Structure 1
Amino acid sequence: MHATAKLTGGGNGMLGCWLLAAPFVLGAPAVGRWNDVIVGTVVLLVVGYGRIGTDSRPPASATGAGLVAILGLWLLLAPFVLGFEGLPLWNDVVAGTVVTSFGSYDAYDASVSSVGRERSGRTPVE
């Protein structure tokens, strides 16, 4: 696994943990609490699954990383759709931007890595 992919995966893991705690720390409204807890839990599960045993197998799939990127986009838009204001709004905007960026990079990296594995695994036809 590339060092940058480890960094982005770890960053999204930490942001997932923060999303579980942030609504209670920042005093988000009820809908904001549930939104952050659900998104944070799914991000943690997907990132955690992608990190388990990555020394012996390829890193997480592009699908899992893409799901994290989509959740980041939702997190970025949710405060405006659900009507947050103040700190909970800006927390979700910043966290959503970072989760989307990291998830997008991981999806790109996983798709490029899988293409490289397919090409290197082929044997030439004689």
Structure 2
Amino acid sequence: MDATTRLAAAGNCLLGCWLIVAAAVLAPSGIARWNDVLVGAAVAVLAGYNYVDVRDRRSPSAVGACLVAVLGGWLVVAPFVLGLGRAQPALWNDVAVGTVIASFGGYNAYVAAAADRPPSVRTTAE
């Protein structure tokens, strides 16, 4: 796989780790803290698995990449659903990190789906 796919998977893995650390650094309220820890751990594990696949010249897991994209989308809306106060650094951290995670996860899901297609149907995105 190409370097962009590897970079997107590695970036998501690092952002998942950042979410775990941010739960302690930014000190959001109780449920928001656990949300960041659990989502960060899931993103780090799934993205790390995809990074290892891409590093070993295999296509990333489409299911894993889709789950990462969905978790990123959840991070964008979670502060509002969970009632995190307005203008808190933790709120904007979740929105920004969630947007990037969803974007990188969506890209990896697209690449994984394209790699699973037969050569006659593949697009130029590879």
Partner of 1:45: 45
Q: Distance in 2 between matches of 1:55 and 1:22?
A: 27
Dislocated runs of 4+, deviation >2 Å: 51-57
Q: Distance in 1 between matches of 2:55 and 2:23?
A: 34
Q: Distance in 2 between matches of 1:102 and 1:3?
A: 13
TM-score (norm 2): 0.87
Q: Distance in 2 between matches of 1:63 and 1:23?
A: 27
Q: 2:65 matched to 1:65?
A: yes
Rg (Cα) greater in structure: 1
Deviations 1:13-60, CA, capped at 9 Å, x for gaps: 110010000011011111011000000000111111222254445222
DSSP-derived class of the 2:119 partner: helix
Q: Distance in 1 between matches of 2:95 and 2:54?
A: 30
Gaps of 5+ in 2: 121-126
Partner of 1:26: 26
- Give 1:6-21 correspondences, 5 Å limit: 6-21=6-21
Compared with structure 1, are the counterparts of its residues 56 and 26 closer, same or farther at alpha carbon in structure 2 (3 Å cutoff)? closer
DSSP-derived class of the 1:83 partner: coil
RMSD: 1.4
Gaps of 5+ in 1: 121-126
TM-score (norm 1): 0.87
Q: Distance in 2 between matches of 1:55 and 1:8?
A: 12
